[in-house]
Structure 1
Amino acid sequence: MTADVITTNARARPRARREPWLDWMVLPTLIVMAVVVGYPVVYTILLSVQDYNLLDFTPANYVGAQNYAKLAADSVFWQSLLNTAIYTFGSVGIAALLGLVLALLTENLGGARFRAVRTLLLMPWAVPFVVVAFLFRYMYLQNGGIINAVLLWAGIINDPVPWLNSAMLALPAVMVANIWAMAPFFFLLVSAALSAIPNEVIESARVDRAGTWGMIWHIKLPFLRNPLLISSLLMVISNFNDFAKIWAMTQGGPGYSTSTLVIYVYRLAFESFEFGYASAVGVIWLVMLMALAWLYMRALRMEKR
């Protein structure tokens, strides 16, 4: 009798619902992503193991890993990789530091004065990147540029400086334009993070007679660490793909002094038409971007803990 009741109850009990391995509502998005993103990536990987040049008027020829072996002896590739690292990490690091300093300096401003200063500081972020590039390109002109004109008037230099025509000065000059456009982003983010610091923490530090530097170093910076880390990684990924500013200002020159990986891939594919070799460089570029994206996602998960 008891066994029959238990069996009946077990049959009457509803089965536990299992979570589906795929949500069918996102299937259209997955299909679009597979076509728009997946197909070009797979096709690029296939091209990277082929010798394919449109100027040869011959079909693509499978060469295995020869394109990747060629990268090891390609000085332009290594220079472009070095330029990419300097441009990306240098610009992001300096812009983050400037944004942090500006946010700390304007933290205690209030009312209309703060709104005016914030609007003024955020204006570069609202300017399109191509406009920024052409603006600084004309400012850097050797003859007629405002930067050389001011330096000559102040007596700092005796002759006009070829900012964008010098292999040593071109990359730092482009980085200045990039930092000018990117610093407001960090200023806005750090300002928001500073306003989110609990007042109780600030008041407790003041009761303990914490100085200005002690307040910044021991109280504020720990609260700003995660927002700065995530925003920096996001900007590193963005600058790693930066094409418009560099191409509009120098087109990767003079020579290859300002050529980054994205500029080098563009030159290989659309000037030399070496699609196979350009695809190999693009695959290396994609792997680096995936590593940066993995770091970003990991930092995002750490912040949520």
Structure 2
Amino acid sequence: MCKAVILGTGSCLPERTLTNAELEQMVETSDQWITSRTGIKTRRISGAGEYNYRLAAGAGRKALDNAGLTAAELDMIIVATLSPQKIMPSTACFVQAELGADNAFAYDINAACTGFTYGLDLASKYIASQPEMKVLVIGSETLSTRVDWEDRNTCVLFGDGAGAAVLGSRDDGRGIFGSKLRSDGRLWNLLHMDGPESQNPALQPEDWQGALIRMNGSDIFKHAVRAMSGVVNDLLEQQGLSVADVDLIIPHQANIRILRKLQSRLDVPDEKLFVNVDKYGNTSAASIPIALDEANQQGRIKENDVVLLCTFGAGLTWASLLMRW
């Protein structure tokens, strides 16, 4: 039976690095405060011309090169983002044009930080029914356009960037073989962002504060750890596996305290947990694909390794996914 397999990965990051020392000059904070609470030392911030779709296309181009494919061979492009280039058309359509992927259809999905994992699951379903398909899945964000730079509780967390994976099919046992996707819309208010100001006064929210990220950090922390550990254990049990059978876990890079708490709950040794939150901060939908590409480029993933992705985001949404590399 054919499974969807990742053929290549890529990532694209803005040139500018924003350090904690620079943030000390912008808001009431310190390197010690940021590092102790988040583990983040630097994050990338887009400059002139480094639009969401250009980062996404850059990551996609590298993933295609890594897979040995051309844009003309793509059948589908999915972009996961909560900071789209425009409300319409989709960022994926901009990426299609930028890459010259004339034979692909394209659309966006928004599951916040969970978006890329949702996208992989979606692509795997297409490929299961049409094994000849080649699908490009991208997570791309310019969160610097949506951060309140006067709110020290959120502005220190987020960064910009994009990561991508090209998927095709194989019949040798490798590929995506399990996933668990979850959401709970009742808890939307813990992490959310308003849209542009309504031009219909009757539909203007009473507490509209601009299209900026708002978060209840302490509640998100508790839900994130509980949800991710739960969905990982559920998936492993479903597949008849344990953490010992997994070669590498790539979690959403939210902050180091969430990652260490998750590590403790799952009893994961350091060498099996991929962490790069210190360099890039929380890049939402781009977080896992950037980490996946780094792990791939660093040789942390070898053929036939079992790789586990797990993530949590606004919605609330969360997910886990297993693949044999």
Sort the TM-score into its range (normalised by shorter chain).
Answer: under 0.3
Determine which structure has greater relative contact order: mean sequence separation of CA pairs < 8 Å that are 6+ residues apart, divided by chain length.
Answer: 1
Normalising by the residue count of structure 2, what TM-score does the alignment of the two structures yield?
Answer: 0.21
Per the normalisation by structure 1, the TM-score is 0.22
Tell me which structure has the larger Cα radius of gyration: 1
Name the structure where helix makes up a greater proportion of residues: 1
